[in-house]
Structure 1
Amino acid sequence: MKLALGVFLSIIFVFSIAFAQSDKLNINIAGQQALTKLPGIGPKTAKKIVDYRNSHGFFNSIDEIKNVSGIGEKKFEKLKDYITTTGGVAEIKKNTRKKF
């Protein structure tokens, strides 16, 4: 009985992590317009992200976004909770900007 409960709780934990990541924007597949919905990212910086991705390939970690001109440590701190390089979503629904 304890083993079954442990397995059940482990499964719930794994699914909760997967669902939590689905709210994040995947910077490897997001388009320029979706990127502008991130805090501190305007059209010019969003274009720089897409251009960087096109010339260097996918980001291996979210930290690599700091290699994009215009994204330093301060801006990264605002972004890190909203972006991912795996899973996630390609577009952000219209009303989610209020969360930022």
Structure 2
Amino acid sequence: MKKSLWAAILLSLGLSFSAMAAVDLNTASVTELESVKGIGPAKAQAIVDYRKSHGGFKTVDELDNVKGFGKKSVDNLRSELSVGKSAKVSAAKPEKKTN
């Protein structure tokens, strides 16, 4: 009985912490973006479309360039969003060896 109670508590805590993690604008799916309060289906799709056509976000502030978002909405969402690696990564050129 005690083990199952602890398991339930740990599971609850784990789910709570995962819900608090910031959503990455460069990797999140439409569904993941919709989980953020203030982002509905149309805005989530607009973020994904912007990301595809611009190679990803460099900063959360760049969200201001997406239709449906302004400075105030970006400021309100800032704590729930993050920006990891850009969706479009340029290929590295191989180094030339000199003899």
**TM-score (structure 2 length as normaliser):** 0.62
Computing the radius of gyration from Cα coordinates, the structure with the larger value is: 2
Equivalent residue number for residue 64 of structure 2: 66
* Percent of residue pairs bearing the same amino acid type: 38
Paired residue type of 2:77 = L
Give the RMSD, CA atoms, in angstroms.
1.6
The alpha-carbon deviation at position 39 of structure 1 amounts to 1.8
> Aligned pair count?
66
Question: Structure 2: any 5+ residue segments left out of the alignment?
Answer: 1-19, 86-99
Q: Which has the higher contact order (CA 8 A, sep 6+)?
A: 1
1:1-100 → structure 2 map (5 Å cutoff)? 23-86=21-84
Deviating runs (4+, > 3 A) in structure 1? none
Paired residue type of 1:45 = K
Given that 1:39 and 1:78 are in contact with CA atoms closer than 8 Å, whether structure 2 keeps it comes out as no
**TM-score (structure 1 length as normaliser):** 0.62
